[in-house]
Amino acid sequence: MATEASLPSLTGDFYTRSFQPGPVPGTLILNMGPQHPSTHGVLRIILELEGEYILRAEPVLGYIHRMHEKMGEVKSFAQYIPNMGRVDYLHAIAWNWAYVGAVEKLCGVEVSERAEYIRVITSEMNRISSHLVWWGAYLLDLGAFTPIMYAFDDREWLLDLLQIVTGSRLTYASLRFGGVTGDLTPEFIDGTYRWCEHMRARLPMYKALVTDNFILRKRCEEIGVISLDLARRYGATGPVLRGSGAAYDVRRAEPYSVYDRFRFEIPVGTAGGDAMDRYLVRMAEIEQSLNIIEQALQGLPAGGPMHEKAPKRLKALKGETYFAVEGARGKIGVHLLSDGGKNPYRVKLRAPGYSNLSLFPELARGVLLADAVSILGSLDLVIPEIDR
């Protein structure tokens, strides 16, 4: 137990030293991470504890920082596309889309109608694969080992399908200015219908096995309640915001591509924004994404995967633009400036997880350390996206 006399001798790195011990004697400074198994990726959180309760929490970021925004300024517009798959490895297609969409918007590049549908289909499949990884990993955090095996089993089939059309399994870079790289094959279309059917049949099993589980409920209900005011002040988006009851989804609020042609619901939380609300929103979103995929497959228009006027080499126009899409974790935004040269002048990447995590210090105040693990998992953090 630290005494007042021992506090001034507190050592540690820059962040520990700047995280001054509070005025309460007898508190403990605990570093959670960077290799803590409950945090996916390397996130470090400095905590000040009194007993098992958190007095203060401060995330320390940057362990996977790669300066993607600088790379945007030294690569050409097209060379930067593969970077997007590496910003958020779980929903790479949405990041592809945010960047490619921003360039298309700024430079007036038209996209073929079939490519819009392919983008919707692959992006929604990617959203489901992201939610499956979150689901498995979250339950792993909470001490349940089995569910991640089921999740990865279903995801494996999904990745096999995505591989047919994009050529990759994780860090997709399949979008191009004016379209996508590959057309859908009959094998893919047939397989996706069958996979959707399979996934629908699995969801009741997920519910019976996990969602209705008493222990899970105890770990999630009334834990980490995010009020709408808190969500607004921190700019939370995605399931973190929708769990608190606001039906804000970029696909509906600022419709891009062909999303206005599909019928889908925006699931929201009903219990005030606790971790269980966020859990249920994501599970319901899997079903909604399945609906969108099936509608898009049924309505798939003829044509090629690239617009016939798509530029062989992009001729960038001067200007400034902002383009946003709905990723698995919330609003992905790209603020792009071009001076007409071959590289972007400035690319700013808005990562939803960054804003979602930034509310954690306020949310963690006064909660049990074990509940903080549950809260962090319920935020669905992908650290490479936060660190960029």
Partner 1 sequence: MNAAWIESLEAESKQQTEYARSGCHWEVLLGTGQLEAAAAAALAQGYFLEDVSVIDVSEGFCAVYHFDHWDNPGRVTFKVLVPHEKPEIPTISHIHSGAAWHERESYDFFGVVFTGHPNLIPLLLPDDLGFHPLLKKPEERKPLREFAINPQPAATQPAKGIGDSHGD
Give the residues lining the site for partner 1 (CB under 8 A).
14-15, 18, 61-62, 65, 67, 69-70, 73, 102, 105-110, 231-236, 241, 246, 248, 253-258, 317-324, 331, 333, 335, 337-339, 345-346, 348, 350, 354-355, 358-359, 362, 387-388
Give the nearest distance from C-beta 58 to partner 1 in angstroms: 8
Ramachandran bin of 7, using left for φ above 0, alpha for ψ from -120 to 50, beta for the remaining angles: alpha
Which CB, 276 or 359, lies closer to partner 1?
Answer: 359
Nearer to partner 1, 15 or 53 (CB): 15
Of the candidates 174, 184, 177, 180, the one whose C-alpha atom is nearest the C-alpha of residue 110 is 177
Nearest to partner 1 of 110, 287 (CB atom): 110
CB of 348 to partner 1, least distance (A): 4
Indicate the pairing of strand 53-60 with strand 346-350. unpaired
Nearest residue to 113 via CA among 180, 64, 47: 180
Measured from the CB atom, the residue of 47 and 324 that comes closer to partner 1 is 324
Minimum gap (Å) between residue 200 Cβ and partner 1: 30
Q: If we measure between CA atoms, which residue out of 197, 181, 201, 203 comes closest to residue 297? A: 197
Closer to partner 1 at the Cβ: 219 or 307? Answer: 307
Instruction: Report the alpha-carbon distance of residue 122 to residue 35 in Å, rounded.
Output: 32
* Minimum distance of partner 1 from residue 128's CB (angstroms): 24
Q: What distance in Å separates the CA atoms of residue 1 and residue 350, rounded to the nearest whole number?
A: 42
Q: Read off φ and ψ for residue 192, nearest 5 degrees.
A: -70, -40
CB of residue 121 to partner 1, shortest distance in Å: 17
* Residues facing 53 on adjacent strands: 50, 368
